[in-house]
Amino acid sequence: MYGVQGTGNGHITRARAMAKAFTERSDIQVDYLFSGRPPEKYFDMEVFGDYQTRNGLTFVHSEGSISQVKTVLQARPIQLIKDIRSLDLSGYDLLLNDFEPVTAWAAKQQKLPSISISHQAAFSQDVPKAGQGLTDKIIMKFFAPTDIKMGVHWYHFGHSIMPPFIEDRAENANTGSYFLVYLPFESIQDITTLLESLSEHNFICYHPDIESDHEQGHIKWRKTSKVGFHNALHGCGGVIANCGFELSSECLQLGKKLLIKPLHGQFEQLSNAKTLLALDLCQVMMKLDVEALEKWIEHTPGEAVTFPDDPSCLIDWLVARNWQDTKSVCEQLWQQVNFPEKVQQKLKLLQA
């Protein structure tokens, strides 16, 4: 069983890469369960076959920040408990989990071996962190508990942490005359206010609240689409986004310069921004700031980071069942990573 947090597209993107590799194997069978968003809100899910959904738990966002009040009001703890207790995992050998609570807690109760393969699992190790409070520590420990934690991050920091799997390659991308904007937790009006004065530049904005594609002067608004977004990402001159892990990883692999606006109150995004900034892989604005955007536009283009594109050696490790030995598979994967020279210099300073 593969349990995937469906709140953000990053978890699903990582699961897609794994699912594609699983379908090429005859020695392993995988079923998928997603939680965290309404079933009708999932899109481009064909690779997962006859997947299941549950309500799960998610964080509610409002105007670029996590709303603790709305999060509590939205939670359905009785339904969560029912879903955990009713999920039968007796036919499975292993649970893979990407920060998904229903399958994690069901596996724990039914004593099914479980492995986290998630960015959140990296924060159980000594990696750069920012804005982590007691609530964040509790969430990271109890939200989706597993037996073994295989974190995914842009660097291992001396721990059993894997690099991300990214299929796209920098040589397949080009630098266009427009900038791609993906700020799903900001309001359309706030994004418009940020961009409207920069009429000499073109922007393509994807947003979950856009119901039909349309243009507003130099701003093209697009409804969410995996294929459309992928094409826009390949041809853009840079990306303005919140600091989700998976999209940032894709931008790094494609050599796209990044302007990051972390989600306020979201420890993971604040920590991501801290790491990217320390490695000189992005610029950061803590609020929607026209001046910061103008400065970033004039900044030099990004340099590509090469990450692995094939999770086969990870799947081999899973099938071999030597799950306590996380070090060997991580080392094998990091041998496939190549950082630009400036990043290598930053890493030497961090290791000193």
> What's the pTM value of the predicted model, to 2 decimals?
0.89
248 shares its domain with 190: yes
How many whole angstroms separate alpha carbon 118 and alpha carbon 12? 11
My answer on whether 243 and 174 are in the same domain is yes
- The set of residues, in sequence order, having a beta carbon less than 8 Å from that of 186 and lying 6+ positions away, is 63, 64, 242, 261, 288
- For residue 221, list its beta bridge partners: 205, 214
Phi (first) and psi of residue 255, to 5 degrees: 75, 25
Domain coverage including residue 90: 2-166+309-351
Pair of tokens at residue 192: 């418009």
Beta strands in 105-242 (DSSP E): 114-118, 148-152, 161-162, 178-182, 202-206, 214-216, 219-222, 239-241
Residues 71 and 139 in one domain: yes
Residues 319 and 253 in one domain: no
Report the pLDDT value the prediction gives residue 58, as an integer from 0 to 100: 67
Q: What is the DSSP letter of 165?
A: P
Q: Based on the domain organization, do 176 and 277 belong to the same domain?
A: yes
Q: Is residue 260 domain-shared with residue 330, that is, in the same domain?
A: no
- Are 189 and 151 contained in the same domain? no
Same domain, 140 and 185: no
- Where do we find the tokens 């790491």? 275
* Statement to judge: residues 121 and 226 lie in one domain: no
CATH of the domain at 26: 3.40.50
Is residue 35 included in any domain, yes or no?
yes
**281 and 318 share a domain?**
no
The neighbouring-strand residues paired with 292 are none
Instruction: With beta carbons less than 8 A apart as the criterion, state whether 287 and 261 touch.
Output: yes
Q: What per-residue string of b and e applies to 301-337 under the rule 16 or more CB within 10 Å gives b?
A: ebbbbbbbeebeebbebbeeeebeebeebbeebeeeb
Q: Look at residue 304 and tell me if it is in a domain.
A: no
Q: Is the model more confident about 65 or about 208?
A: 208
Residue 62 has pLDDT above 60, yes or no: no
Average model confidence (pLDDT) across the chain: 91
Residue 81 lies in a domain: yes
Q: What pLDDT sits at residue 69?
A: 47
pLDDT at 111: 98
Partners of residue 178 on adjacent β-strands = 202
Let me know if residue 213 belongs to a domain.
yes
CATH of the domain at 215: 3.40.50.2000
316-343, pLDDT tens digit by residue? 999 999 999 999 999 999 999 999 999 9
Residue 302 in any domain: the answer is no
200 shares its domain with 223: yes
Instruction: State pLDDT tens for residues 27-42.
Output: 999 999 999 888 998 8
- The answer on 142 and 29 residing in a single domain is yes
**What confidence category does residue 132 fall into, taking pLDDT thresholds of 50, 70 and 90?**
confident
pLDDT at 253: 94
Q: Which two three-digit tokens encode residue 57?
A: 């738990």
Task: Kindly report, residue by residue over 244-292, the tens digit of the pLDDT.
Answer: 999 999 999 999 999 999 988 789 999 999 999 999 999 999 999 999 9
Res 136 pLDDT > 90: no
Alpha helices per DSSP H over the chain: 9-23, 68-74, 77-86, 101-110, 119-122, 134-142, 188-195, 226-235, 245-254, 267-278, 290-297, 312-320, 326-334, 341-351
What residues have CB less than 8 Å from 312, skipping those under 6 apart?
A: 21
Report yes or no on 203 lying in a domain: yes
Determine the pLDDT at residue 167.
81
Measured from the Cβ of residue 347, the count of other Cβ atoms closer than 10 Å reads 15
Give the number of domains in the chain.
2
Structural domain includes residue 49: yes
> What tens digit of pLDDT does each residue of 165-197 get?
998 777 777 888 999 999 998 999 999 999 999
Domain end marker among 276, 297, 318: 297
Domain boundary residue, one of 258, 276, 297: 297
pLDDT tens for 194-207 read 999 999 999 999 99
